[in-house]
């Protein structure tokens, strides 16, 4: 059998900050699609694990280093890449943009955060990859508690509510959400308050890292 298939990886990195969701994109330095925007990624080396490949490509092209990216899907349409038959394994992750200093290098001419509702035209089949990643993210947060990597170390509960409202793209039942989230026992309420606007000072919370990661490992259902 004469098979000539190459393997690549792509990294969809979402950022959440100040009630806004964005995605990290690079402007390609070389053909195909030179000067066009794309999801960071590249070819897997012969003796390289997929997870190492996607972490390496993301670091090389954007300067962003993430310890864990979740595998999204395999994209293998024969015509997805003009260079030949190239199958891409896509990954996705969610970060706080201010935690990183982005820097374009290797195959990237520029790197930039784009709001997900203000995206430029994307190269290859990256529009489809991003669409699926957004759908997966919105599905994921309905069964897994998020927020540890995205909020300040100390935050009012309203910040957590706003995070979920933004990621879901719809309103939530705030009373029910608060009741269910506190029942998970992964937040510590602090003896500190913060004043926002003219309302009463609100108590601050922080994630209990030990209980948070234990819950994630156990895969407890978080239904909102």
Whether residue 15 contacts residue 22, with contact meaning beta carbons closer than 8 Å, is answered with yes
CA distance 141 to 135: 10
Taking each helix axis as running N to C, give the angle between helix 157-168 and helix 174-183, from 0 to 180 degrees, rounded to the nearest 10.
110
Specify whether 57 is catalytic: no
Compute how many other C-beta atoms are within 10 angstroms of the C-beta atom of residue 118: 7
Per the document, the length of the chain is 224
CA distance 52 to 208: 29
Q: Among all chains, which residue has been given the structure tokens 């670091």?
A: 59
What is the arrangement of strands in the sheet containing 202-207, beginning at the earlier edge strand?
A: 155-156, 202-207, 187-194
CA distance 18 to 155: 12
Marked catalytic residue, from 31, 65, 110, 144: 110
Closest Cα partner for 92 from 11, 203, 195?
11
CA distance 4 to 60: 26
Catalytic residue ranges:
110
């Amino acid at each position: 059998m004469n098979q000539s298939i190459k393997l690549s990886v792509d990294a969809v990195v979402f950022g959440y900050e100040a009630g806004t969701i964005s995605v990290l994109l690079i402007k390609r330095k070389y053909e195909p699609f030179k000067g066009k925007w794309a999801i960071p990624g590249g070819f897997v080396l012969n003796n390289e694990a997929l997870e190492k490949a996607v972490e390496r490509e993301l670091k090389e092209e954007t300067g962003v280093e993430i310890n864990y990216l979740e595998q999204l899907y395999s994209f293998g349409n024969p015509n997805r890449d003009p260079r030949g038959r190239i199958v891409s394994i896509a990954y996705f992750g969610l970060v706080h943009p201010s935690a990183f200093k982005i820097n374009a290098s290797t195959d990237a001419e520029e790197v930039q955060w784009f709001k997900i509702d203000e995206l430029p035209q994307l190269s290859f089949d990256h529009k489809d990859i991003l669409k699926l990643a957004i759908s997966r993210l919105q599905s994921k947060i309905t069964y897994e508690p998020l927020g540890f990597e995205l909020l300040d170390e100390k935050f009012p509960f309203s910040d957590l509510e706003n995070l979920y409202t933004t990621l879901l793209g719809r309103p939530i039942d705030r009373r029910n959400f608060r009741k269910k989230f506190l029942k998970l026992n992964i937040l510590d309420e602090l003896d500190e308050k913060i004043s926002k606007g003219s309302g009463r000072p609100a108590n601050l919370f922080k994630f209990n890292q030990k209980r948070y990661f234990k819950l994630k490992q156990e895969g407890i259902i978080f239904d909102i």
